[in-house]
Structure formats: structure tokens, C-alpha cells
């Protein structure tokens, strides 16, 4: 039976059980509702914050998106994500240069273990297979990265692990730079850069 053919008494009785907002929405004619909702942003469109490079970056890293062949100790994990502009549009061909310490908190400052650069694909996506960085004195667990869109400026920053006990004691840590942990301890992060 269609609702409009219900006796008015029953319709009103049904409305009493609804929260006020829902009851009003039922009474309002359909044409009073907005035709389209405001678009939901595809990403958080605040640019990714810059952070210090620190003392351990080495120029001219090899092109490499799998660090597990470097033989560095640590628990294997994958970091994936996308580089987008401030309008949330994916950026193809963006450079990402990652460097990190091994699972024991040690950097390779002589060679290029756990150091490498790669470029985003046509969808703005990147993928790094690596080991989980350890802790070293004064620092919580983190990745370092430089991101540069084609023809754009370099964004130097760091990424952090959520729920890490040492985060709060690290003066460089920022919650906006936390990755999202997905299955099996793998992580994801979207970089938002000015293009
Ligand atoms: Fe570091």
C-alpha cells in the first residue's frame, strides 16, 4: 500500500517515532532537496608539510623501488600511494627519492642500501618494497622522501607510523605525516604537492 493512501492518523503516528530531522525530511517536498550534494574532495587538499632533510641524504641515488635486495635487516613491508596536486589530480612522472635506516636504526652512508628513486605511473601511483625502519637516538620510526612533480619544486619530508610510542617524544614528528597502515603492516600515503 502506498504511503500517501495511508490514513493521516497512521502517517502522523509513524512520524512521531522518527527523530525530528528525519520527520521534517519526510514532510518536505522532494523538490526542496538540493539536486546535487557538494562534491566530496578526492583527497585532503592541504599540501603535504615540508620537513628537514636531516644529515643522511645522499645525492644521485639509483632508480630502485625494491629495497629488499639490498640485504638490510628489518621486517619487510610495502609503502604505496599516490602523488596528487592541490586539486587532487594525480601527477604522472613525479619523482620520489626515498631513503631510510634499516631495522636496527642504521643508515648506509657509504653506499645506496635503502636508498632509491622512482617515478609515479600514469595514475600518479608509486610503490616501494622495503623493510620497516628502526629507531635511532632521538628519532621515532620514519621514512625520508623528496617528491618533485615534473617541472615543479622539490618537497622534502618524512613519513611516520601511527601508534608508534616514540612519536610524541620526537620533536620533528607531525601527525599530518602519518601513513595509514593497511593489511600485514603495509602502509599507504598520499602526497599533495603544488604543481
Ligand atoms: Fe632519519
Q: Tens digits of per-residue pLDDT, 60-111?
A: 999 999 999 999 999 999 999 999 999 999 999 999 999 999 999 999 999 9
pLDDT reported for residue 2 = 41
- Range in 3-12, 65-74, 75-84, 156-165 the model is least confident about: 3-12
Say yes or no to pLDDT of 11 above 70: no
The CA 142 to ligand 1 mean position distance, Å, reads 6
pLDDT reported for residue 16 = 45
Q: How many CA atoms lie within 13 A of 71 on its CB side?
A: 3
The CA 106 to ligand 1 mean position distance, Å, reads 9
The CA 163 to ligand 1 mean position distance, Å, reads 18
- Range in 22-26, 66-70, 173-177 the model is least confident about: 22-26
| Closest CA relative to residue 70, chosen from 28, 35, 99 | 99
The CA 143 to ligand 1 mean position distance, Å, reads 7
The CA 12 to ligand 1 mean position distance, Å, reads 65
The CA 84 to ligand 1 mean position distance, Å, reads 24
The CA 56 to ligand 1 mean position distance, Å, reads 7
Average pLDDT, the chain: 86
Cβ atoms of 51 and 177 within 8 Å: the answer is yes
- The model's pLDDT over 133-148, given as tens digits with 9 standing for 90+, comes to 999 999 999 999 999 9
The CA 158 to ligand 1 mean position distance, Å, reads 8
Three cell numbers, residue 140: 621515532
The DSSP string of 8-74 is HHHHHHHHHTS-HHHHHHHHS-GGGS-SSPPPPPSS--SPPPP----S---SSPPB-SB-GGG---S
The CA 149 to ligand 1 mean position distance, Å, reads 23
pLDDT reported for residue 38 = 59
Say yes or no to pLDDT of 178 above 90: yes
Cβ atoms of 85 and 192 within 8 Å: the answer is yes
pTM of the model: 0.79
Say yes or no to pLDDT of 17 above 80: no
Amino acid at each position: 500500500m502506498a504511503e500517501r493512501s495511508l490514513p493521516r492518523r497512521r502517517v502522523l503516528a509513524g512520524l512521531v517515532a522518527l527523530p525530528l530531522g528525519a520527520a521534517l525530511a519526510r514532510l518536505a517536498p522532494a523538490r526542496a532537496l538540493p539536486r546535487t550534494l557538494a562534491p566530496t574532495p578526492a583527497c585532503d587538499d592541504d599540501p603535504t608539510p615540508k620537513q628537514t632533510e636531516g644529515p643522511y641524504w645522499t645525492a644521485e641515488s639509483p632508480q630502485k623501488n625494491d629495497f629488499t635486495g639490498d640485504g638490510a635487516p628489518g621486517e619487510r613491508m610495502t609503502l604505496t600511494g599516490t602523488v596528487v596536486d592541490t586539486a587532487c589530480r594525480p601527477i604522472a612522472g613525479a619523482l620520489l627519492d626515498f631513503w631510510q635506516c634499516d631495522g636496527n636504526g642504521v643508515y648506509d652512508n657509504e653506499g645506496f642500501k635503502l636508498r632509491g628513486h622512482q617515478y609515479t605511473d600514469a595514475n600518479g601511483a608509486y610503490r616501494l618494497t622495503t623493510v620497516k625502519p628502526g629507531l635511532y637516538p632521538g628519532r621515532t620510526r620514519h621514512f625520508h622522501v623528496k617528491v618533485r612533480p615534473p617541472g615543479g619544486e622539490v618537497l622534502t619530508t618524512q613519513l611516520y607510523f601511527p601508534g608508534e610510542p616514540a612519536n610524541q617524544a620526537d620533536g620533528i614528528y607531525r601527525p599530518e605525516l602519518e601513513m595509514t597502515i593497511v593489511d600485514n603492516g603495509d602502509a599507504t600515503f598520499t602526497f599533495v604537492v603544488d604543481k
